[in-house]
Structure formats: structure tokens, C-alpha cells
Amino acid sequence: MKITIDDELIDQSVKQSVKELGLVPEQMLKGKTWGIEEFRKKSLGGKGRAWVKREIFDRYPEIYIENGGFVIDPFPGTGHKTIIYAYDASLWVNEHYHEFNWGAK
């Protein structure tokens, strides 16, 4: 017998579990935004701006706001400030950190 579970139900369950387990301090991050400097220092171990652009922004277009993600204007130098929603960024980094090329220069 095959059972089908709606993706939205799974997403809601995961988000609720993360919240209940206190994996991300929601009260400290919910509704807050970061620039690239805060994002790289608080979530990416202080990796450089070039590393963040190449290893995160270039490789994961799903994080762009227009793709349902949490980053507005991910490419510095376009005349706009990059805005990163801290709570969603923290959850995403927590799920994907093992995929990052931490040794890249």
C-alpha cells in the first residue's frame, strides 16, 4: 500500500518541530534582517564576501526571494543592499551546511 503525504503538511510539521525543539532562537531572529556581513559572521563562520557570493549565492538560486527564498538582491555591487531574512537563513544554513565547500578559498 502506498501512502501519499502532502508536501505542505510535511513542511508545516518540520517547522513546528524545529520551533518546539528550539533549534533556532525564533524570538531573536524572527522578523530580523541581516546584510552580508552579519550573515557571513553569524551563520557562515566568518567566511569572506567572495566565498559567500561564490559558494552560497551562485550555487543556491533557491535562496533568492523571487524563488521562494530569503535573500533580496544577492549580488553586491548592483546598487542595492543585500537583505537576508535571518530566521529563514539560519534554518536553511542548518539544513545545508554539510553541502558547502568550506575549504574553498
Mean pLDDT score, 27-41: 86
CB 83 within 8 A of CB 72: yes
> 44: number of CA atoms within 13 Å, CB side?
28
- pLDDT score for 22: 61
Percent of the chain with pLDDT over 70: 87
Please state the separation of Cα 27 from the chain's center in Å.
17
* Distance from C-alpha of 45 to C-alpha of 2, rounded to nearest angstrom: 43
| The pLDDT of residue 27 | 61
Residue 99: pLDDT over 90? yes
Which pTM does this prediction carry?
A: 0.69
**Residue 35 clears pLDDT 80, i.e. is over it:** yes
Q: How many beta carbons lie within 10 A of that of residue 36, not counting itself?
A: 20
* Higher-pLDDT residue of 66, 79: 66
Alpha-carbon gap, residue 90 to 13, rounded angstroms: 18
